[in-house]
Structure 1
Amino acid sequence: MDSVPNTPPGQLRRMAAVWEQVLKKGGIGPDDSFFTLGGQSVMAGTLVRAAGERFGVRIPIRSLFEYSRLGEFTDHVVGLALPTAPTTAPPPDAVSTGAVSTGAVSTGAVPPDVPLEMTAFQRRIWLAEQIDPSVRNHVPLAWSVAGRLDPDRLRVALGRLVAEHEILRTRFVDEDDGWSVRLREPWLPPLELLDLGEAPDDTSADTTADASADATDIPDGVTEWLEAALRLPFDLESGQLLRAALGEFADGRQLLLLCVHHLVIDGESIPVLLAELDRCCATPDRPRQVVQYREFAAHQREQRDSASWRTDLAYWESALEGASADTPLPAPERPEPNGAFRLPLPARLLDSLRAVQSEHGVSWFMVAATALAVSLHRWTGLDDVTFGSPTTNRNHPRFAELFGPSLNTAVLRSGVTADSTVLDVLLRMRGEALGALEHQAVEFDDVLNHVKPARRFGHTPFVNVTLNMNLLDDHVAVLDGALLTPLLIDELRSDYAKFGLTVTMVQLEGRLIGLVSHRGDQLGAEGARDLADRLAGLLNRFPEALDEPVLPRD
């Protein structure tokens, strides 16, 4: 590895080791850029936290976007070094994704009848189901299996997983004075065995066809099981919020299927689930202490009204001042069914964006946010729009391997003038996304309670249009010696559309796939397709569109 000026070779090697661990790439050199190596916003949080622990400094997450090459980032971090800084000091504004272990601890067992508490995210999910019983906050998951899973070993591992992680045996109890959280004794999740018949030619995610192609050919038995699992409500008081199935084809190939309630899992928990399930398969008789979700809930409560919490709240008050609480969608004259479809994106979109990412210090998520913002400006004619995006609130290394939902919601706001270009919006979205990551400790519900926006039934203020990032590449795992590859099942998305419009950008096997879902009572199929075409068109030609005006010029 070549050195660069001002960077001691030993320090450069130490930093390169952190980058290689987080980015899962070898031979990273000083001129390599975080973005050309495939980095994105969530991974950035993991990297700055890991680098902060290695070098004993607090690293703001925006540093990685300002110094995106290994050599210049190392120079910057070495310059931040403080002799008195503890080597394990957590960088408060890093976003943890669990890639770096900090050791597991536990505060001791809790008797089943002792009331605990919900986090703000859990209260929001629970309230949504109370307001509208048709809402299903279920998370469907599916993997193709390369190798073979033994059903008996998998059952035992699922039981051990439930026994060790309290979140999987948590009861949400309706009492006279409201809902409370209690634990139940360990239980053994049933494992359904599905006969899937003859296998299609390819049961793994399609990586060669254009992203506009139809959904992957998933066997009918898999879709039927997942659809049934999504339709069937969970009994929230039972403490049994997980369903599992193992499907087998005539030729012996298998698929693993799970359906888990959002009260106990989110996307950041899925890699933890797979790693823990693999450990339980390998060592079923050797339980270990883990960080429990109740500890995370207590930590969130302790942060309320702290100085940093009040600073974050003031940030959001300023960021949303004067913003409309609703980005208008053209509702159909009569409610239509919910809908879901793919964006027509080229298979090599990520490759075409990397030069823009490296030049302007942005992630591909920031590019997607820019394309959505510009499309909303052009579609609505408004010069000020907002939309939401989930963030993961794991900014303490103690919770890096937490099993349980840690999501928060951030608001991204785009304001333009008659002279604004796409590049102007890109730089605005870069600042908005970094600001959201740095001030995410305040729960979205607390922000709403503070700014008191106008509300409409069925519309969530500021975020009724939402942009999601789904890193399915992180959901590839080894389980009991078998390789699990996640499946993307498009047709189920319309069944759980929660916002007027949701755009989900999926990273799967080095490629970006765009998915759109919409609520038919708020946005008709024609309107959703129109916006999607605008969004896809801009993403397809994004590097050439930076100088385009956002709004038509007279």
Structure 2
Amino acid sequence: YARAAYAAPKGEIETMLAQIWAELLGVERVGRHDNFFELGGHSLLAVRLVSRLSRAVGVELSLSTLFARPVLCDLATGIVEVLSRADPQDLPAIAAVSRDEPLVLSFAQQRLWFLAQLDAAGTNYHVPLALRLRGTLDRSAWQRSLDRLFARHEALRSVFVDSEDEPRVALLPPDTGLPVIEHDLKAGPDAEATLLELCHEEAHAPFDLAHGPLIRGRLIRLSDQEHVFLLTQHHIVSDGWSMGVLVRELSSLYRAFLAGQGEPLPPLVLQYPDYAAWQRQWLSGERLQTQAQYWRENLAGAPARLALPTDRPRPEQQSFAGATVPIVIDADLTRGLKRLSRQHGTTLFMTVLAAWAAVLSRLSGQDDLVIGVPSANRGRREIEELIGFFVNTLALRLDLSGEPSVSELLERTRRTALAAQEHQDLPFEQVVEIVKPPRSLDHTPLFQVGLAWQNAAVEAFDLPGLSVEPAGNGLDQVKFDLELSLGERDGIIAGTFGYATALFDAATIERQRGYLLALLRAMVADAGQPVGRIELLSSDERSYLLEELNRTAADYPSDKCIHELFEAQVR
């Protein structure tokens, strides 16, 4: 690709922008003619960039400004224009609150606490981690590292006490220690079968939110040189981003303690309870009204359910039993999707979202549908290094009416995704209360399908003397009917297609995977064609549906009249 020659940033705004870009994108230098998205920017980094710019220049900038002006010098000009017509304002910082007063739950924690009251023995909101450790494990240094991590993050030490008015957060003492049960299978018969039983037992053991701890571990010794470590957290104290923080800090602590060194991590200035208190103060007044009004208008009249054809009738109460099939978008198609995204000003996530919406529309016969998308909700720099439940869910309503072309659908999807991200501060639980969709025990409110795009870098354990790889059989629970989880790594988009086994067979999901890949290839080949006319069926499936199922010819006695054949059938 042709690249503009490097030109150094000019002026204070461009220099500040270049510094922020370099830090977020992990590049050495940024020129004034560089494009944020061509340097590796995506939706999550865009949110973090806008947050840092807002803090740096004192006014709130919109995501649409960045997407409209992704080149550094153009964005700097846009910032100057915003500054010229706005009064600079200090955005409220997150400040530490007193631990002597009752601590409040964040909005997301409050929803999970409520769900736990309905199903105290439920395990659908467990966050599991299963690791196979090969090599020499220093169990003392390992336990010390876990205990230090537990003491360091107040979210992990949080318990939720029911008071007269509403639940409150209480903190377990820092010296409580992270509970780890040890099992020695070295001398036992059939260690792998016992291991599977222990993994199942761990995954299905409920947490007590009122007493905690809400994180626990099991260390299973298979031999002197092989262990399996199971770490389970309740979602109310952790999320996907938190797992990256945990992996990074646990590696750092173990390396230091193994070498006989002291605490290697700098102290945390803020903790999750500080964020929860700030969230309730910040999301109020005019800001709350603006966000609430957006979701009220955007989701008004949205279909309560996506009418997908299922292999079995929907049970009266939603089952969370699930399974996955893998999905891989090869390097050639990934390159084509990147090119298509650049041409239409979308991110890879937006392009794949548009494609999957088109597939779901064809399967359901609906041109108005809602897809749930998790948002890391880590725009503010102060909370990037915290473990806690920050993730939010955005209900994106996609419009496929009027036979849009590929280009038009991409534009609609881009507008929808940007508007939702600009109003992502309102917690999903409050959106549900505002919209008041019909409630039923057999499906989730607002949407029943989700698309998760893994933008954050995948953290890997770095433990001296140990090789670390995942253990266990993967996902056996889902929160929605369908869950598409994707991310780009080494030039290939890959992930999993999760599905509720109460509704679908694996073969059905494999066919849907084929439809999505076929539609993506067609979008790359011709962005001007109507999406609704793209052929999704493979030649084999098309032949089966139109020819094999319609082969009705049969031999019959041709020497008899019809009425004689009829009489024979009666007899």
TM score, norm. by length of structure 2: 0.78
Percent identity, aligned pairs only, is 30
Does 1:138 find its partner at 2:140? no
Q: Please list the CA deviations of residues 206-242 of structure 1 after superposition, one character each: whole Å capped at 9, or x if unmatched.
A: xxxxxxxxxxxxx989876654432222222232122
User: Which residue matches 1:492?
Assistant: 474
Question: Which of 439, 444, 452 is 2:428 aligned to?
Answer: 444
Contact in 1 for aligned 2:291/2:426 (Cα 8 Å): yes
Structure with higher helix content = 2
Cα 1:57–1:174 shift into 2, 3 Å: closer
What displacement does 1:552 show? 4.1
1:3-402 aligned at under 5 Å gives the runs 8=10, 12-54=14-56, 57-81=59-83, 89-90=90-91, 106-110=96-100, 115-132=102-119, 133-142=121-130, 150-174=138-162, 179-186=167-174, 187-191=176-180, 226-244=199-217, 257-277=230-250, 280=253, 282=256, 283-284=262-263, 288-333=267-312, 338-347=322-331, 349-402=333-386
What displacement does 1:165 show? 1.8
Does 1:411 find its partner at 2:411? no
Contact in 2 for aligned 1:171/1:184 (Cα 8 Å): yes
Give the gaps of 5 or more residues in structure 2. 187-191, 257-261, 535-571
Contact in 1 for aligned 2:34/2:72 (Cα 8 Å): yes
User: Which residue matches 2:539?
Assistant: none
What displacement does 1:413 show? 1.0
What displacement does 1:425 show? 1.7
Cα 1:26–1:64 shift into 2, 3 Å: same
Cα 1:547–1:446 shift into 2, 3 Å: same
Give the gaps of 5 or more residues in structure 1. 93-101, 198-218
Higher RCO, 1 or 2 (CA under 8 Å, sep at least 6)?
Answer: 1
Cα 1:228–1:428 shift into 2, 3 Å: farther
SS for the counterpart of 1:475 is coil
SS for the counterpart of 1:36 is coil
Cα 1:483–1:404 shift into 2, 3 Å: farther
Amino acid at match of 1:271: G
Contact in 1 for aligned 2:328/2:493 (Cα 8 Å): no
Give RMSD over aligned pairs: 3.8
SS for the counterpart of 1:259 is strand
Range that drifts further, 343-352 or 438-447:
343-352
What displacement does 1:524 show? 4.3
SS for the counterpart of 1:308 is helix
Contact in 1 for aligned 2:369/2:399 (Cα 8 Å): yes
What displacement does 1:433 show? 1.1
What displacement does 1:167 show? 1.3
What displacement does 1:182 show? 2.0
Matched residues, number? 513
Range that drifts further, 305-314 or 75-84:
75-84
Q: Please list the CA deviations of residues 402-444 of structure 1 after superposition, one character each: whole Å capped at 9, or x if unmatched.
A: 3211122211111123331222221111111111111122222
SS for the counterpart of 1:189 is coil
TM score, norm. by length of structure 1: 0.80
Range that drifts further, 374-383 or 499-508:
499-508
Larger radius of gyration: 2
What displacement does 1:160 show? 1.9
> What is the distance in 1 between the residues matched to 2:193 and 2:487?
23
Q: Please list the CA deviations of residues 91-116 of structure 1 after superposition, one character each: whole Å capped at 9, or x if unmatched.
A: x9xxxxxxxxx9x9643444xxx643
